[in-house]
Amino acid sequence: MPPAPRSAALLAALLLLGGATGCSLLAAPDTRTPGNPAPVPPKQVVLTAAQALDDTGGARIEVVQEGPDGRRTASGTLVWGASDEGALTLTDEAGTGHLALKDGAVDLVYQGGAAKHADRYTAESLDPQAGPAPDGYAGGWMTALVTDPGSRAYAIAQTVRLGSLGGEQLAGTTVAHYQGSAPVDEFFGAAKELSPQRRSATVEWYRQRGVAAIGFDVWVGPGERLLRLRETARGSAGTIVTTTDVPSMGTGDPAPAATG
């Protein structure tokens, strides 16, 4: 998915949903509007949080993926808008490396290794477990590192039927937790930015691992702030959990490139 949600699409979705529910778009997750006993729908809360993050133009992210093949981590900064940039340090089974994104071009250098190159739509080819096809799929790890979390939250809100799990503590703050799931073919079938070949490769990757549906969790804090996303894929080969935290928002300068 692209690194930032389309602002016009987000705004249109919010206006339509706000008009249908009669709820304030800026209402807190547990706010009840006078004259309307229904709380703000989870879809609306997540769409509003996605738009709020998109409007900031950037964020620091921390990503952790755990599964049968071990644990991967990454942290750094993404900036989107008129110009897309990113700089993250990652550790996976290939070692520690630096990933840089600049206007759609993606470069990955592991310590002591040669640079690897791709673009945003072929970033999965940089995964240590990727196959030879540049438009293939390797589980979504690299995609998560070059995609604005707001864009992913937008896709989840539009495709997944989310339910509220109530409030819980996250980093010392009471936040709203939403959860849902969607069939693999339905979720990726709705991703219009994917080419038919990429969509087919993605669905096939999950099918081969016995994953029929993907679970999604979204945490939204005070001020409609998107704090965490989680994707859970359970299949015959085990469970892969990918968690993206957004500890800060804004367009801070990406970290300087590491030498490898």
| 196-244 residue pLDDT tens | 988 999 999 999 999 999 999 999 999 999 999 999 999 999 999 999 9
pTM above 0.85, yes or no: no
Helices (H), 90-242: 141-145, 149-159, 184-189, 196-208
Assigned domain for 60 exists: yes
Contacts of 53-56 with CB under 8 Å at 24 or more apart are: 53/148, 53/149, 53/150, 53/153, 53/225, 53/226, 53/246, 53/249, 54/4, 54/5, 54/7, 54/10, 54/80, 54/148, 54/150, 54/151, 54/154, 55/7, 56/249, 56/250, 56/251
Task: Say yes or no to pLDDT of 2 above 70.
Answer: no
Assigned domain for 28 exists: no
Assigned domain for 204 exists: yes
Assigned domain for 7 exists: no
Instruction: State the pLDDT confidence band at 174, using cuts at 50, 70 and 90.
Output: very high
Q: Count how many domains the chain has.
A: 1
Q: 78 Cβ partners below 8 Å, 6+ apart?
A: 3, 58, 59, 61, 84, 85, 86, 88, 101, 146, 148, 254
Task: Say yes or no to pLDDT of 27 above 80.
Answer: no
Assigned domain for 82 exists: no
Nearest partner of 111 among 99, 101, 123, 124, judged by Cα: 99
Q: Calculate the average pLDDT of the chain.
A: 86
What's the pLDDT at 35?
A: 56
**Residue 245: strand pairing partners:** 62, 228
Assigned domain for 158 exists: yes
Task: Say yes or no to pLDDT of 71 above 50.
Answer: yes
Containing structural domain, residue 172: 55-69+133-249
Assigned domain for 162 exists: yes
**Residue 163: strand pairing partners:** 179
What's the pLDDT at 136?
A: 83
What's the pLDDT at 11?
A: 46
Assigned domain for 191 exists: yes
Over residues 121-150, mean pLDDT: 91
What's the pLDDT at 133?
A: 78
